[in-house]
Amino acid sequence: MARAGPGWILRGQDKPRRISYLELLFDLGLIVALTRLSDRLTGNLSWNHAVETVVLLAAIWWVWTVTAYTTDWYDPRQPLVQVIVLVVLFGGLLMSLAVSSAFEGPSGIAFAGAYVGLHLCRGLILVTALRGHALRVRPMRVLTWFGLTGVLWVVGAFLPSGVRLVFWGIAVATDFTIGFFGYPVPRLGRSGTEELRVGGEHLAERYRQMFIVTLGEIILVGVRRYGDPPFASFETAGVILLFVITVTMWRIYTVYVADHLATGIDKATNPGRLALVAAWAHLVMVSGVVLIAAGGDIVARRPLGETTTTELAIVVAGPVVFLAGRTLYAVVVFRAILWRLPLGVVALSLAAPALRGLPPLAVAAATTAGMALIAFVPHYGQPVYRTRRQFRTRW
């Protein structure tokens, strides 16, 4: 395509913002990462291991989020933008390969190097492509902050696992929050509302497609562990339960105001900031997906026998974390409360002690039944609009 000026790489505000095929290909890379993370979680059932996995998931999710912003701000039909997405996809693949032992030895160096490298590479390409354009300062600020947090990532990769966790936790928390304040940099200032403006239609579709694709990870784990048992077996029952809970999550995610994200972003006083909050809420929901996939792995490997405390925590935590994320998504993004979601969090949490000692298959059946009630019991009453807090509520 012709380069008409210094802003040739930018996506025109008046151009249609359809999802490109390359973005869909990029989403498949996220599935690979989630599969590796769920395998990592079940490979060592310890709390420290779980915290490490959360940090790794946050880093991978941030790669996806920044790429979604990139294809919203910059024209994905441009070969240079396509190169950026492919470079990030390859870097994400390297991160996925390294997650299993990211807190042990050279794998940590590979994970941190890929994470920092893909962010710096993208920033350098954009800063160069926008030479002479007023918006060049935007990727310059982002590049500066990724360079600063990159020091924590790289240095942490050479430190013992406990210290590495602290360094990487601080780094990923900074990456997640600094955009909320406009990436302030001395002399370069901070990005204002207009600089961070995003297209609601494009980002809303990206979030929806991404989440629906990640749901496939749950069934994939069950089928991958299925083997070749008799068809009428407990293993088959476990896969059926995974299918049912996947359907309930699809239903809970899509019901009630979730299809209005595009409108919410476009009408927000700060669309970029609202889209960023939506990314945080989706991270919580995706964490629930990873936990449910890990619980499905536990059920597939050992459907019978007594469930250990850690296994119980993982199987129950998946739906609880997902419902918490969906509640956060509704409250923060749509200023709406669907009361059955937080009540589901409380009910499943309180029921967990009573499930101790049951087989993993029975625990999964109980949590799936609870999710089915939340998903498919009809909603009663019309949404109520509260003028004081401007919250819509519904059962």
Per residue in 332-358, pLDDT (tens digit) is: 877 777 888 999 999 999 999 999 889
| Digit-coded pLDDT (tens) for 5-46 | 667 788 876 666 678 888 888 988 888 898 899 889 888 878
- Least Cα distance to 35 among 253, 370, 296 occurs for 296
Token pair in block for residue 171? 């780094």
Instruction: Report strand pairing: 391-394 vs 336-338.
Output: parallel
- Per 3-state DSSP, the chain is made up of helix, strand and coil in percentages (nearest 5) of 75, 5, 25
pLDDT at 385: 33
List all residues 6 or more positions away from 24 whose beta carbon is below 8 Å from its beta carbon. Answer: 209
CB distance 46 to 311 below 8 Å = no
- Least Cα distance to 283 among 220, 328, 346 occurs for 328
- Least Cα distance to 104 among 170, 175, 56, 34 occurs for 56
Cα–Cα distance for residue pair 72/61, rounded to 1 Å: 17
List all residues 6 or more positions away from 289 whose beta carbon is below 8 Å from its beta carbon. Answer: 34, 211, 214, 215, 217, 218, 249, 318, 322
| Digit-coded pLDDT (tens) for 291-337 | 999 998 888 888 888 888 889 999 999 999 999 999 998 888 777 77
Count of CB atoms situated within 10 Å of the CB of 121: 16
Token pair in block for residue 37? 């993370």
Cα–Cα distance for residue pair 183/196, rounded to 1 Å: 10
Q: What is the pLDDT along the chain (395 residues), one digit of tens a residue?
A: 445 566 778 887 666 667 888 888 898 888 889 889 988 988 887 888 889 999 999 999 999 999 998 998 888 889 999 999 999 999 999 999 999 999 988 899 999 999 999 999 999 999 999 888 888 888 999 999 999 999 999 999 999 999 999 999 999 999 999 988 888 999 888 887 777 778 778 888 888 888 988 998 888 888 887 778 888 888 889 899 999 999 999 999 987 666 677 777 777 778 878 888 888 999 999 999 999 999 988 888 888 888 888 899 999 999 999 999 999 988 887 777 788 899 999 999 999 999 988 999 999 999 999 999 999 887 665 544 343 445 555 55
Strand partners, 394: 338
- The CA angle 258-262-265, to the nearest 5 degrees, is 105
Cα–Cα distance for residue pair 158/171, rounded to 1 Å: 15
pLDDT at 256: 65
CB distance 131 to 6 below 8 Å = yes
- Residue 357 to residues 6, 30, 189, 196, 384: CA-CA distances in angstroms? 65, 35, 58, 51, 42
The rounded Cα 113 to chain-centroid distance in angstroms is 21
Cα–Cα distance for residue pair 61/32, rounded to 1 Å: 12
pLDDT at 392: 57
Cα–Cα distance for residue pair 237/360, rounded to 1 Å: 12
- Residue 136 to residues 25, 78, 141, 287, 385: CA-CA distances in angstroms? 28, 17, 9, 34, 43
* Long-range contacts of 229-238, Cβ-Cβ distance < 8 Å, separation of 24 or more: 234/303, 234/304, 234/361, 235/300, 235/303, 237/303, 237/361, 238/296, 238/299, 238/300, 238/303, 238/361, 238/364
**What single DSSP character describes residue 74?**
B
* DSSP-based three-state secondary structure for 46: coil
- Positive or negative, the Cα torsion across 268, 199, 324, 64? negative
Cα–Cα distance for residue pair 169/368, rounded to 1 Å: 32
